[in-house]
């Protein structure tokens, strides 16, 4: 409750600071404090006096509300209570108000009026920001991107291993073929004694030497390819657990305590249940629980 005191017919402006937040509904009570005897001649404590508060927002919309009056024999003041409704606080900015009292003399039908000077209450804006996570990738999206990268790395390693093994087998076949041709050339060279035959044999020997060199290079290439394939097959690190065996289907990839890639107990079906989230789940649940309005079993309850 906030008390606002009158001086003459003017309310103290400082009493209205930090008073009303936009969209409130009977959240705070403003209590106007008036002297029982005003100007040494008007007795406001009389039950005949009826007080109202009239307000107009910056869009020209307003209303007049009857105020609840109370006093005490021990006090020199009367107290007028006003709970601004949501109608009064729905527009932020300046809310121009005026307090007035009316008393009707039943004997003479004479009407007495008391009106204060207009005063302003400033309705502060109610903040309702958009979640920051709507402008950033969600945790789930980031996790899916990381898993996609892991999968791509694993597939690439498998493809490299298969290609290396195929290359090694091809190189070994080429080496064997070159070595066989070299042996045939040597047999031709040794199988003749005539000058022409010797010359031809020398040519075959040159060819044999050439193919021997090719064979040596092919063997070296095959050995390098085999080493590369073995290195991949015996790879260490995160992918070593998925080189030779398949993972359980339709499961979310995780990193184990040893830093290895593994399939978790969470299925892709469960993961898809998180689709559409815009932020931290606990934060959104807490926000709902702390909301000023809750709907329970088809009944609406408003938090004060």
Q: What does the pLDDT read at residue 204?
A: 53
Compute the 3-state secondary structure of the chain and give helix, strand, coil in percent, each to the nearest 5. Answer: 40, 30, 30
Q: Which residues are registered as beta bridge partners of 267?
A: 251
pTM (2 d.p.): 0.41
Distance CA 302, CA 274 (A): 30
Q: What does the pLDDT read at residue 51?
A: 94
Q: Which residues are registered as beta bridge partners of 286?
A: none
Q: What does the pLDDT read at residue 256?
A: 83
Residue 277 sits at φ, ψ, to 5 deg, of -65, 145
- Identify the H or E element spanning 38: strand 37-38
Nearest by Cα to 55 from 120, 5, 8? 120
Q: What does the pLDDT read at residue 191?
A: 55
Digit-by-digit pLDDT tens for the chain (304 residues) are 788 888 888 887 776 776 777 666 666 788 899 898 888 788 888 888 899 999 998 889 999 999 988 887 778 899 999 888 888 888 888 889 999 999 887 776 778 888 999 988 888 877 766 655 554 555 566 667 777 777 777 777 777 777 777 777 776 666 666 666 666 666 555 554 444 444 444 555 565 666 667 667 777 777 777 777 666 656 667 776 776 678 888 888 888 887 788 888 888 888 787 777 777 878 877 877 776 555 555 555 554 4
Q: What does the pLDDT read at residue 174?
A: 66
């Amino acid at each position: 409750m906030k008390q606002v005191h009158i001086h003459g017919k003017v309310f103290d402006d400082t009493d209205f600071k930090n008073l009303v937040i936009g969209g409130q509904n009977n959240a705070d009570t403003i209590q106007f404090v008036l002297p029982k005897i005003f100007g040494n001649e008007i007795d406001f404590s009389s039950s005949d006096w009826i007080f109202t508060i009239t307000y107009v927002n910056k869009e020209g919309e307003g209303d007049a509300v009857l105020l609840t009056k109370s006093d005490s024999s021990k006090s020199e003041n009367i107290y007028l209570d006003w709970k601004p409704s949501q109608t009064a606080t729905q527009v932020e900015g300046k809310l121009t108000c005026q307090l007035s009292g009316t008393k009707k003399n039943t004997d003479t039908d004479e009407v007495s009026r008391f009106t204060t000077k207009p005063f302003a209450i400033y309705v502060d804006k109610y903040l309702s920001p958009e979640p920051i996570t709507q402008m950033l990738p969600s945790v789930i999206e980031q996790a899916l991107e990381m898993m996609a990268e892991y999968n791509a790395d694993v597939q690439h390693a498998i493809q490299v291993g298969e290609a290396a093994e195929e290359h090694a087998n091809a190189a070994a076949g080429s080496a064997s073929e070159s070595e066989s041709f070299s042996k045939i050339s040597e047999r031709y060279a040794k199988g003749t004694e005539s000058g022409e035959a010797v010359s031809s044999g020398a040519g075959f020997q040159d060819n044999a030497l050439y193919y021997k060199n090719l064979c040596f290079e092919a063997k070296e290439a095959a050995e390098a390819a085999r080493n590369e394939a073995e290195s991949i097959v015996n790879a260490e690190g995160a992918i070593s657990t998925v080189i030779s065996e398949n993972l359980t289907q339709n499961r979310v990839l995780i990193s184990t305590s040893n830093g290895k890639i593994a399939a978790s107990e969470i299925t892709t079906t469960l993961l898809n249940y998180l689709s559409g989230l815009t932020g931290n789940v606990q934060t959104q649940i807490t926000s709902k629980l702390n909301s000023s309005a809750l709907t329970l079993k088809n009944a609406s309850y408003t938090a004060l």
